[in-house]
Amino acid sequence: MDYGRPLAAAMGIQFIPFDFERKGVPVSATMIRDNPRKHWDYLAPAARPYYLTRVALVGAESTGKSTLAIFLARHFGSVCVPEYAEALLRANGGEFSTEMVPVIMHGQLASERALAPLASRWLFCDSDLITTLVWSEMVLGAAPEKLHQAAQAQKYAMTLLLDCTPPWVPDVHRRIVEAGARERFHARFEYYLEAFGRPYKVISGETFTERELAAVAVIESICPEVPSRK
């Protein structure tokens, strides 16, 4: 639209036409507003975190969340936010205490904020505050109200809840070994996802390849207009 000429006249400045056919930069502000994700490369870097499609991966111990989150980030050409609690627990020999809960909460939020500017279209989060909430309740017996509020306030386009099909593998930051424990954790995750009204899909499969395919299908169904970067 030739709105430059009347605008220049109204401002009392010289009008100099340039690339009316948009051959140099084949996009308009209207096109970007209509579909920011499709025209991602033309978004201002400072605006990109706002338009990210955020996906959280949650579930009981040893269900393949971290492996799947890294796979999805690579598959879709973006980044993965690691689980802050895992690094903290490893650094403390697997210890998990009430005093660590607010540290984990703020650390997870800060990690997501820090990595969002580096993401492209999608941001895959290995863990979220529901995970901290469930662990606080199931392991410590209670969770602070601020954590409840913060967990409920988190917004994701989709949450992938991994089921307990994979065998449990010991690690320094894992402790839930008794029979049926992972299933109880899984049920608690479902409870909070439902209670907070968060969109989610349960990811299952006998092999990791099956779980990869299921997760990719869910992600592509959210934003089908942008292909994955395989």
Which tens digits make up the pLDDT trace of 56-86? 999 998 888 999 999 999 999 999 999 999 9
Across 178-195, average pLDDT: 89
The sign of the CA dihedral 192, 96, 153, 161 is: negative
Task: Please indicate, yes or no, if residue 165 is contained in any of the structural domains.
Answer: yes
209-to-125, 204, 205 alpha-carbon distances in Å: 20, 10, 8
Q: What residues make up the domain containing 162? A: 47-222
Task: Please indicate, yes or no, if residue 8 is contained in any of the structural domains.
Answer: no
User: What long-range pairs does 5-14 form, CB within 8 A, spacing at least 24?
Assistant: none
Q: How confident is the model at residue 224 (pLDDT cuts 50, 70, 90)?
A: low
Across 89-112, average pLDDT: 93
Burial 98-128 (b: 16+ CB within 10 A, else e): eebbeebbebbeebbeebbeebbbbbbbbbb
| Domains: count for the chain | 1
Q: What are the backbone dihedrals phi and psi of residue 31, each rounded to the nearest 5 degrees, phi first?
A: -60, -40
Task: Please indicate, yes or no, if residue 10 is contained in any of the structural domains.
Answer: no
The sign of the CA dihedral 214, 189, 133, 95 is: negative
Task: Please indicate, yes or no, if residue 21 is contained in any of the structural domains.
Answer: no
* pLDDT for res 230: 45
- pTM, two decimals, is 0.85
Task: Please indicate, yes or no, if residue 126 is contained in any of the structural domains.
Answer: yes
Written as one letter, the residue type at 146 is: K
Task: Please indicate, yes or no, if residue 98 is contained in any of the structural domains.
Answer: yes
Residue 125's CATH number: 3.40.50.300
Across 141-164, average pLDDT: 96
More confident site: 53 or 179 = 53
Task: Please indicate, yes or no, if residue 89 is contained in any of the structural domains.
Answer: yes
Task: Please indicate, yes or no, if residue 205 is contained in any of the structural domains.
Answer: yes
Here the tokens at position 88 are 């903290």
Q: Which of 51, 54, 30, 29 is nearest to 40 (CA)?
A: 51
Residue 129 clears pLDDT 90, i.e. is over it? yes
